[in-house]
Amino acid sequence: MLLLVGLGNPGAAYQGHRHNVGFMAVDAIARAHNFGPVRVRFRGELREGTLSGAKGSTKTLILKPLTYMNESGNAVREAVDFYKLELSDVVVIYDEIDLAPGKLRVKTGGGNAGHNGLRSISAHVGNDYRRVRIGIGHPGIKEVVPLHVLHDFAKSDRAWLDPLIDAIADAAPYLADGDDAGFMNKVALLTAPPKPPSKPSDPKNREKE
C-alpha cells in the first residue's frame, strides 16, 4: 500500500497559494487515475484508488490533511498507525522554496528546511519518509518568504505549473513501484520543451556535396 500525502491549507482562500501545490498535485493524481470519492478520515480528506505501474497494481491512499500546514503530522500519524505502514510507504508532496520554479526532486529523509508541514510530520512519524519536492522559487529575502508562499501563483507561472502538475499525475505509478528515479525521469520527459524544428539544408551546399 502507498500513502500519498499532499500538503496545503484547507479552504477556498488558500486554494491557489504556492504553499498548496501539494494539494494541487494529489488532486491531479486522483483525477487522472479515477480514485474514489472523498471521505473525511484521519483529520483530512481521504481518497482510495489504484496506481498501476511496471510492477503491477498498488492500492493507494491520497490524504490531504485538513489540520492546516503546521499540524499536518497529526493526520499522517493517524493514517500510518491505522494501516500499519512503513515510512517507505509514505510519499509527501509539497512546495520547496529552495528549488527553482518548475523543478522537481525526490528524496528520502533529510532536513525540513524550515517547512512547517514537514517539521510536523517528522515530529509525529519520524524523518525517513519519501518526499516529492516541487520548486516554487525563493523570493530572495528571508523576511518575504511567508508572503511568497501564502500568495497565489502568478498568471505567468501557469506556463510551467499546469504541465508539471499533469506530468506528476501521469508519472505517479512510478512512485507506487518505488522507482523514484523513474518518476523524476518521466516528469522531466513530459515537461521538456519541444525541440526546435531542424532547418533544411541549403540546396547550394547539397550541390557541392
Residue 197: DSSP 8-state = P
C-alpha cell, 79: 493514517
Q: Note if 33 is an active site residue.
A: no
Radius of gyration (C-alpha) of the chain in whole angstroms: 19
CA separation for the pair 145, 151 (Å, rounded) = 10
CA separation for the pair 140, 136 (Å, rounded) = 12
> CB of 59 within 8 A of CB of 97?
no
Residue 156: DSSP 8-state = G
- Report which secondary-structure segment, H or E, holds 148: helix 145-149
Q: Which of 195, 169, 184, 17 is nearest to 104 (CA)?
A: 184
> CB of 79 within 8 A of CB of 42?
yes
Catalytic residue among 17, 19, 33, 148: 19
- Report which secondary-structure segment, H or E, holds 104: strand 104-108
- Assign 63 to helix, strand or coil: strand
What is the CA 165 to chain-centroid distance, rounded? 8
The residues carrying an active-site annotation are 19
